[in-house]
Structure 1
Amino acid sequence: MTAERRRLPFAVTLATGTSLANHTGAWRTERPVYRNLRAPCGDACPAEEDVQGWLYRAEEGEYEAAWRLLMAENPFPAIMGRVCYHPCETACNRGQVDEAVGINAVERFLGDRAIKQGWTMPVEAAPTGRRVLVVGAGPAGLAAAYHLRLLGHEVTVADAAERPGGMMRYGIPAYRLPRDVLDAEIDRVARMGVTFELGHPVTDLDAEREAYDAVFLAIGAQIGKRAYIPAGESPRLLDALAVLRSVAEDEPVRLGRRVVVYGGGNTAMDAARTARRLGATEAVVVYRRTRERMPAHESEVAEALDEGVQIRWLSTISAAAGEAIVLERMELDDTGFPRPTGQFETLAADSVVLAVGQDVDRTLIAALPETDGAVAVDEAFMTATPGVFAGGDMVPSERTCTVAVGHGKRAARRIHAWLTGIQPASGPKPPIADIERLNTWYYTEAPHQMRPRLETARRIGTFDEVVGGLDAETALFEARRCMSCGNCFECDNCYGMCPDNAIVKLGPGKGFAIDLDYCKGCGICAAECPAGAIAMIEEET
């Protein structure tokens, strides 16, 4: 082969030794770029937590830093770690590998640890001189008060009840949410400088708002809907919310030994499980659709069944007579709507507890336009009255504590913008890191840690908490199951795999950079990134 021929193929013109002697970047047709995608867990969170962000800190054992990042969005991690139905876990990509990360369990661990350690949230914003009235001390109102206070506003929370918490106190039984946990997280909000006016029903909104620059309405849906049951001499008819409230206030409740609960939501499950704890030997839930169409969360249904609650699906109460009720069998039509069949049976009952839905008391807000039985608000949670905002159960939405907390946060930031003229930052959101963007072969199977539960035999007759929490060891393990979907977690795979030493480490917590003088665009780094945090884009010509 001649000398001229030897100079043509690149393979024989490269210098020997380290690859840094060869500037291979000129060969590139594509270049790798690091990207930050939206993790599906955070995208599914009604409170819009940076789930992946605080899990990352928790897996490093930086529990206080994780808690503070969590608290930037949600002021009640110990509460939500107990009562939230964790849609984040339903969306978790890890669930397609083995089991979803126990996000809710780690959140509770951080919340409980904060209570034990006495961690607090300082108000660092300068006082704005603006005053905001929050009507309602439930999850939406308390969350709004917390975020408004962090933004420097003076906040007063008014509530007709003698104690704050709303449905968290008077609707969720203590076996799901211990009152010392509820009190500790609300007390933290009070210590931030929020003023509480309890036992103070707001009856004249126009008069009350004269002393304030803005109002946030978070009354909640605390009026039980009624159901017509033809009856002469009938069992006692009770409202589920009234029963749960009486139990929460340590008032005597007499349900009898045979209790029927009419409804299929979470309140119905709570009422039936409470009846068992009050001494009912039979607690029967009557629901007109199937289990698959039941609005109650699956975990609530499962725990009710574990505790001996019976459920009559595809049934409705058609009448009550003496110490019994008459059930009619239902069937679903092609649209899923229940239709009567004309088949009847009699069921003994000392009392019937109605749990067929809840309404908002519109006495205070009668003048405000409504939609679907709720207060009409715009995208900023403002009602038709300037300066009056509303959220939580009062507006069209799913009625859960976590949704209410999310409303309170977003409304607070909109109220702040309305008061100050400073609009919240916004921009296009990056795409969600779905499972197809990840390299899941790097993740070994590691099923999630189970939270301890009170033995079924010990639950009846006590309102002790049923579901326990993780300890530090299991919480750390659970946090480390996070796959960091769509975001670099500095595993060094790209650095170790690059054949041209084109990956530059910027230091702990700073990630990596691409040295384009040497990157030839082979794509190995993108192919070997477990989290899918590297994309190949076409090189500009």
Structure 2
Amino acid sequence: MATSQDEMKLTFRKFKDGENKWSSMHDKIFVADTSHKCPVYVHRTPPCQGSCPSGEDIRGWLQIVRGIEKPPKGVDWHEYAFRRSTDANPFPAMMGRVCPAPCEDGCNRNEVDDFVGINAVEQFIGDTAYENGYKFEAPPLTTDKKVAIVGGGPAGMSAAYHLRRRGIASCIFDDHEKLGGMMQYGIPGYRVPRTHLDHEIQRIIDMGDIEVRTGVRVGRDVSVEELEKEFDAILWAIGCKTGRGLPVPGWEGTPNCISGVAFLEAFNKGDLKVTAEKVVCVGGGDTSIDVVSVARRLGKISNLNPKDRPEEVIYGHTAHDAAMTAAREGAEVTLTALFPREEMTATEHEVRDALTEGVTILNEVMPVEVIKNEEGRATGLKMAKCKLEDGRPVPIEGTEFVLEADLIVAAIGQGGDLEGLEDFDNGRGLMDSDQFYQVPNKPGHFVAGDIIRPHLLTTAIGQASIAAESIQHYLNNEAQVKRPKVDKHHFNLLAKLNEAGLAPVEFQPEGDLRGTSSANYAIHNFEDRASSEIISHDQLFLGHFAYEPRHKRGEKIPGADEVLGHFEERYIGLPEEEAQAEAGRCMSCGLCFECDNCVIYCPQDAVYRVKKDEATTGRYVATDYTRCIGCHICSDVCPTGYIDMAMGE
């Protein structure tokens, strides 16, 4: 808070007699208002970004796409948006398609009409980068030390990317033939086009000084001790590849009872081309939706040879011939879930699509027992209606029924495979991590992704970004830096001013140092609270925003009669004009988007536009405090909550 004139005392500064009083009319002007406050421009984090586990500067790249934030000279806005997007997440084409978008749930625009289609714009950025062949910049190496990354999934690839941007080389170990982890082997190709996925993976490898060793299982083919000798740090990003079985009698050892993870991996490898006649999947999350959607697309073959049964393929004993697809017919597929439809953890539109494709969904039921024949194969799954008691499902007596099944799939969770790595097992089949993503009591070992706790792809990507920073501190023998309260990739006004050639001049301690309103060595009347505050909708002037329907992507969702053999990509990306229009719906929460309301409505003409050759994002308007009377109209009409009445007595 500024010091009032009455409280001001002469300090070490030298003043002539009679020149220690302000000569302006502020005291007389300020009596026109009771707040005695003047505007300060305060940057805060928008809730979309606060909800993003990767910590993307979502508002930033939306501002670029819509044309508010201008790229530096010589850079096309498409590429500039790509670079801002990938500052946090190197997979825009992938995440724009498959991320369940917690950012959209958090979007303040939900209070006006509908959220901004952040995923759709991110897909546009990623697809444009793919079409234009944008590459990642690779700075020179800053150290001769090298990091082993165990696991080439989203966490491992993100870590390699962020380490390389910091000038650190790495080597990725993966026990599969191809990199990508769950993006490659867990998500169907009609949701994640393999052309785009492989391109985004290769773009990281092309940065150089990222070695790849596929088909290598750490703990079997190479020991932890060997890694410790060869590398200066190790990041564990091995994911969770083992599916949990159903905790019911009859499950263990039954050949046609399999996990959802194994089912999807066999399909994504190209081995599984048909499924069973009657498939029952127990789940309710996104993995279970993928299982039943794939099962409907694969269909079944009547009188299937026993050696070609799905479980034989899934367990790796055989592989289907592509010619089999010509004879397949529709399969009967059922998904069961403990919770009501509105409480299922699967994304709402994924559930809707599965129903459209002909999947039967039974809610508020639980498995009780696997029914088997004399050969020991499952022929059905006994179910019962259920209720929750202390968070656990309890069957309701007398409601039992049997679902006939030739294949039963459990998609109720995943666990880690720590065979050969038992020293890292925390007793739950996972690895422990501290706040810096270090493995406790194991110096030089770091961890990220599902092996900490199974969650979203975007969560793994964000954790790896922080782990890369922690690894850099470790390699440099530096103490770990305390993480900010809002731990995200934030807009940085000083960096933007430097980019635009408008950086403040060097401070020279001369003359009258009271105030900075006319000084060019400081950023005038700006405060950055982005690392500690997320701006909520009640801090915005929502009346500024008119109703504008969302520009939605097209979708190819086959009906029940069309789904068999339908493997076309699901989403049809937005054309450029619509992507820009959708980005234009962003309310730019917490940062000026140049609407001019404060300039137009200021009764004293105290708020003014910064000169064009001195303006950039975050420095579009300023205040002449010799005119301001503290009426706070500018703050009231600011749509983005960027103006606080905070300067003054």
- Scaled by the length of structure 1, the TM-score of the pair is 0.91
CA distance in 1, matches of 2:572, 2:563: 13
CA distance in 1, matches of 2:25, 2:447: 61
CA distance in 2, matches of 1:250, 1:275: 14
Counterpart code for 1:307: E
Give the match's secondary structure for 2:554.
coil
1:18 is matched with none
Deviates more, 1:514-523 or 1:158-167: 514-523
Residues 371 and 90 of structure 1: CA distance in aligned 2, closer, same or farther (over 3 Å): farther
Residues 25 and 534 of structure 1: CA distance in aligned 2, closer, same or farther (over 3 Å): farther
Counterpart code for 1:170: Y
CA distance in 1, matches of 2:139, 2:27: 48
2:43 is matched with 36
Give the match's secondary structure for 1:206.
helix
2:126 is matched with 111
2:463 counterpart (390, 407, 417): 407
1:260 is matched with 280
CA distance in 1, matches of 2:254, 2:623: 78
1:71 is matched with 86
TM-fit CA distance, 1:519: 1.0
1:329 is the counterpart of 2:384: yes
TM-fit CA distance, 1:234: 7.3
2:333 is matched with 283
CA distance in 2, matches of 1:234, 1:218: 31
Give the match's secondary structure for 2:338.
coil
Q: Deviations over 1:66-122 (max 9, x none)?
A: 111111111101111011111011000001100000011101100010010011111
Counterpart code for 2:370: A
CA distance in 2, matches of 1:238, 1:326: 13
1:213 counterpart (227, 232, 236): 232
Contact 1:25–1:519, Cα closer than 8 Å, also in 2: no
Identity %: 36
CA distance in 2, matches of 1:234, 1:414: 45
Contact 1:368–1:385, Cα closer than 8 Å, also in 2: no
Structure-to-structure mapping, 1:323-472, within 5 angstroms:
324-342=379-397, 343-368=399-424, 370=426, 372-383=428-439, 384-396=441-453, 398-421=454-477, 429-457=531-559, 458-472=562-576
Give the match's secondary structure for 1:456.
coil
Deviates more, 1:85-94 or 1:493-502: 493-502
The unaligned stretches of length 5 or more in structure 2 are 1-23, 31-35, 69-76, 300-329, 486-530
1:512 is the counterpart of 2:643: no
Give the match's secondary structure for 2:279.
strand
1:84 is matched with 99
Deviates more, 1:234-243 or 1:515-524: 234-243
1:152 counterpart (143, 164, 167): 167
Q: Deviations over 1:483-503 (max 9, x none)?
A: 011211122221222222212
1:305 is the counterpart of 2:355: yes
1:56 is the counterpart of 2:43: no
CA distance in 2, matches of 1:369, 1:261: 29
Residues 521 and 366 of structure 1: CA distance in aligned 2, closer, same or farther (over 3 Å): same
CA distance in 2, matches of 1:374, 1:234: 26
CA distance in 2, matches of 1:452, 1:399: 28
Q: Deviations over 1:420-446 (max 9, x none)?
A: 245558656242211111111111111
2:261 counterpart (225, 230, 241): 241
Contact 2:366–2:386, Cα closer than 8 Å, also in 1: no
Contact 1:502–1:514, Cα closer than 8 Å, also in 2: yes
CA distance in 1, matches of 2:279, 2:484: 53
TM-fit CA distance, 1:125: 4.5
Contact 1:26–1:520, Cα closer than 8 Å, also in 2: no
Q: Deviations over 1:215-235 (max 9, x none)?
A: 100001001112255449978
Give the match's secondary structure for 2:349.
helix
1:100 counterpart (115, 135, 138): 115
TM-fit CA distance, 1:520: 1.2
Give the match's secondary structure for 2:424.
coil
2:153 is matched with 138
TM-fit CA distance, 1:24: 5.7
Contact 2:334–2:361, Cα closer than 8 Å, also in 1: yes
Counterpart code for 2:218: V
Q: Deviations over 1:18-76 (max 9, x none)?
A: xxxx9567522211111111111111100001111111111118222111111111110
Counterpart code for 2:349: S
Contact 1:272–1:285, Cα closer than 8 Å, also in 2: yes
Deviates more, 1:266-275 or 1:157-166: 266-275
Contact 2:604–2:628, Cα closer than 8 Å, also in 1: yes
Contact 1:360–1:394, Cα closer than 8 Å, also in 2: yes
CA distance in 2, matches of 1:239, 1:300: 20
Residues 364 and 59 of structure 1: CA distance in aligned 2, closer, same or farther (over 3 Å): farther
2:602 counterpart (494, 498, 509): 498
1:522 is matched with 631
Deviates more, 1:530-539 or 1:97-106: 530-539
CA distance in 2, matches of 1:228, 1:436: 46
TM-fit CA distance, 1:336: 4.6
1:533 is matched with 642
Contact 1:235–1:352, Cα closer than 8 Å, also in 2: no
Residues 252 and 493 of structure 1: CA distance in aligned 2, closer, same or farther (over 3 Å): closer
CA distance in 1, matches of 2:64, 2:204: 24
TM-fit CA distance, 1:195: 1.4
CA distance in 1, matches of 2:425, 2:408: 35
The unaligned stretches of length 5 or more in structure 1 are 1-21
- Scaled by the length of structure 2, the TM-score of the pair is 0.76
1:27 is matched with 29
CA distance in 1, matches of 2:437, 2:291: 32
TM-fit CA distance, 1:175: 1.3
Give the match's secondary structure for 1:361.
coil
Structure-to-structure mapping, 1:9-20, within 5 angstroms:
none
TM-fit CA distance, 1:372: 4.8
1:162 is the counterpart of 2:177: yes
Contact 1:314–1:338, Cα closer than 8 Å, also in 2: no
TM-fit CA distance, 1:474: 0.9
Deviates more, 1:53-62 or 1:189-198: 53-62
Structure-to-structure mapping, 1:188-199, within 5 angstroms:
188-193=203-208, 194-199=210-215
Contact 1:235–1:350, Cα closer than 8 Å, also in 2: no
Q: Deviations over 1:331-360 (max 9, x none)?
A: 214545321123222222221122222110
CA distance in 2, matches of 1:136, 1:326: 36
Matched pairs, number? 518
Counterpart code for 2:344: M
Contact 1:108–1:469, Cα closer than 8 Å, also in 2: yes
Give the match's secondary structure for 1:285.
strand
CA distance in 1, matches of 2:273, 2:225: 38
